[in-house]
A and B are shown apart, each in its own frame.
Chain A
Amino acid sequence: MVDQFEGPIVRLGARIAVVVALMIIYLPPLYLLAISFNEGLQPAIPSLDQVSIKWYLALAEENKLLAALGESLLVATVTAVIATTIAFFSALAYMEMSEHRSGWFMFVIFSMFVPGVIQGLSLSVIFTKLGIPSFWATVVAGHLLWAMPFAFTVILTMLAVVKRSYLMAAADLGASWGRRLWDITLPLVRPGLIGGFIFSFLLSLNEYNRAFYLVGRQNTWPLDMFGKMNSGASPTIYALSGSILIASFLAVVLCLLLTWKRVVKTS
């Protein structure tokens, strides 16, 4: 039981504020989800007899859009793996440093502040100069500049739980650098690694500016979506958005279930 310092009016006010804030956040995507089940061509909330999965079925035929989504998933996965790995080792380096920490920190996160169009353009110029054709890996290169600094900050926050004395104790018991990394650091920062991975995956999946310059013959999903909007929106893009929303929701539920199971097991 937590002691309650605030009076009932303050508590009620806080609750209302939370509900309003959550509604502002969740209503637009829920609206999108709702109209994706509308039978008609115009975006509108369907009445009960108009509910239909017609556009979801039509989605299966949208080869171009699906190929773009596939491309984006590939780019996002590769980006997330590489960004998390680089970010992890950059964060380890940060923890080992004493004097040049803030310099290193700024160096690693700097690309976060460079506008995407500039990064995209400059990379594209360099790749052309080097004779490297644009394909999914060139998009990954651009996305790393964007996602890695975020993964770095997430992992760095988590690394704070790895006290220096844990590593000293492990060394004292005979553990080499590798064993200390594997037995002590990695298990303790695992939540940060997962967080960094998911974060960079989502940042890459959504990214438009850099991909615009670096993409090859196969569009990524955001590029294709924008293209579709310009040439008159087909309701299938609502269905695609709806599917992603539902998939995200299921992923969150799965994560919660797994965490819950672990909590039950340990207590």
Chain B
Amino acid sequence: MAIAIELQNITRAYGTVNALDNVSLKIEAGEFFTLLGPSGSGKSTLLKIIGGFEEPTGGSVLFNGEDVTSLSANQRPSNTVFQDLALFPHMSVGQNVAYGLQIQRVPKSEIVERVIDALDLVGLSGFEDRNVNLLSGGQRQRVALARSLIMEPGVLLLDEPLTGLDEQLRQQMRDEFGYLHEKTGATFILVTHNQDEALSLSNRMAIMKGGQLVQVDPPTTFFEHPKNSFVAGFMGMDCLIKPDRVSMENGSPVATVGDTRITAVNNAEIVPGRDYVLAIRPDQIRFEAGGASGPTSIKVTVKTIRYRGLFYDIHAEFSNGEQLLMTHPVEGAGNLPATGEVVNISFSPGAPLILLQE
């Protein structure tokens, strides 16, 4: 695959603060790439640098192998959908969508045709004369998409465009993004802090923290092999257990939690002096049949049980007070332990992971 965008050692400093710290990244043509991270992680700044709205203090931006670092936004073959959409309030839907083509001095008859096609693409046929200020949130989203897509950009940048929409509309627009990505074949780069969005849309994604890329991989890898506790936490692995001790035994990392020893499945190198956590997803933990006398020796005490509709949340505790969260299916409600009961647990294949504490 051809490389659409290459970032080489991008740094952006504000005074003494580095918003971006030596970021290098390659994004393939036609890829749906997501920059994921908490606010302040530098993801929006990185997108602005790709779009040409901000200049990096160091490093280069390449589009299709060409250095565009010194080109401004209006000279780059990318288009952006902004967080606040930035629809021109004094123009109609049609005028908004046509604006880029007018700048390019495309003949009027062609503009009319392409506006019709662009509005059709986003499901807003016949909206040309509508006032943009009177549209619903979802419709405004679609106008912003049409205004960018009419330019037939090789790269479409999406800067948290779903912020401020309600959950149902987010789902809808998410599907829309997927559809438009397939339909146009363009490279999409999405910035978001919502991991669901990232997981469901991306071919690959990057998690950012403190101006750096923590991990760049396809979505499934993030779940199966999170690089550290920060990534695991961001992926919704809420249950991170802090062991008292970690050691290598027979080539496997073994964590000691209270009076329990747990062998991790990943081949992490344990470096003395660093802190580690055990990551286990709630759905990867099962009760052992036979209560506290079962074959494994991982014992926890049940603290609280909460009904969640599709399952039960069970909070349990190791002997040293470390918390554990597991889920239990509603169909097996008859087997639910009692609060205060000591139970034996085991893990699904692939769990638990031992991760570097970040």
Give me the interface of A with B, judged by CB distance under 8 Å: 161, 163, 165-166, 168-176, 179, 183-184, 187-188, 266
Contacts and interface: CB of A to CB of B under 8 A. Distances in A.
B74 A169 contact: no
Given A166-B86, A168-B82, A172-B79, A183 B99 contact: yes
B100 A188 contact: no
Contacts of A163: 84, 86
A174 B51 contact: no
Interface string B83-118: 110101110000000011001100000000000000
Given A169-B86, A171-B73, 10 more contacts: A165-B86, A171-B53, A171-B72, A172-B53, A172-B73, A172-B74, A172-B78, A173-B99, A173-B103, A184-B88
A160 B219 CA distance: 41
A173 B83 CA distance: 16
A161 B148 CA distance: 22
A82 to B, nearest CB: 26
B73 A187 contact: no
B90 A174 contact: no
A170 B147 CA distance: 10
Contacts of A179: 103
Contacts of B147: 169, 173
B151 A168 contact: no
B85 to A, nearest CB: 8
Contacts of B44: none
Contact of A172 (B51, B83, B89, B104): B51
A165 B84 contact: yes
Contacts of A161: 89
Contact of B74 (A166, A171, A183): A171
B131 interface: yes
Contacts of A166: 86, 88-89
B80 A169 contact: yes
Contacts of B80: 168-169, 172
B99 A170 contact: yes
Contacts of B131: 266
B40 to A, nearest CB: 19
Given A165-B84, A168-B53, A173 B90 contact: no
Interface in B59-82: 72-74, 78-80, 82
5 residue pairs, one from A and one from B, having the closest CB atoms: A173-B100, A165-B86, A169-B86, A174-B103, A171-B73
A179 B100 CA distance: 11
A123 B292 CA distance: 98
Contacts of B74: 171-176
A123 B74 CA distance: 46
Nearest to B90: A187
A149 B273 CA distance: 65
Interface string B137-178: 000000000011001000000000000000000000000000
Contacts of A165: 82-84, 86
Contacts of A184: 88
Nearest to A169: B86
Contacts of B148: 172
Given A179-B103, A183-B99, A188-B90, A173 B84 contact: no
29 contacts: A163-B86, A166-B86, A166-B89, A168-B53, A169-B86, A169-B88, A169-B147, A172-B51, A172-B73, A172-B74, A172-B78, A172-B79, A172-B148, A173-B74, A173-B79, A173-B99, A173-B103, A173-B147, A173-B151, A174-B74, A174-B103, A174-B104, A175-B74, A175-B103, A176-B74, A179-B103, A184-B88, A188-B89, A266-B131
A168 B103 contact: no
Contacts of A175: 74, 99, 103
A174 B84 contact: no
A146 B258 CA distance: 80
Nearest to A184: B88
A168 B88 CA distance: 11
A263 to B, nearest CB: 12
A160 B104 CA distance: 28
Contacts of B151: 173-174
Contacts of B51: 172
A191 B82 CA distance: 26
Contacts of B99: 170, 173, 175, 183
Contacts of B104: 174
* Most chain B beta-carbon neighbours within 10 Å: one of A163, A168, A187: A168
Given A173-B103, A188-B89, A168 B84 contact: no
A52 to B, nearest CB: 50
Nearest to B48: A168
Contacts of A187: 90
Contacts of A168: 53, 73, 80, 82, 86
B131 to A, nearest CB: 7
B103 to A, nearest CB: 4
Nearest to A164: B86
B79 to A, nearest CB: 6
Nearest to B159: A165
B97 to A, nearest CB: 10
Contacts of B53: 168, 171-172
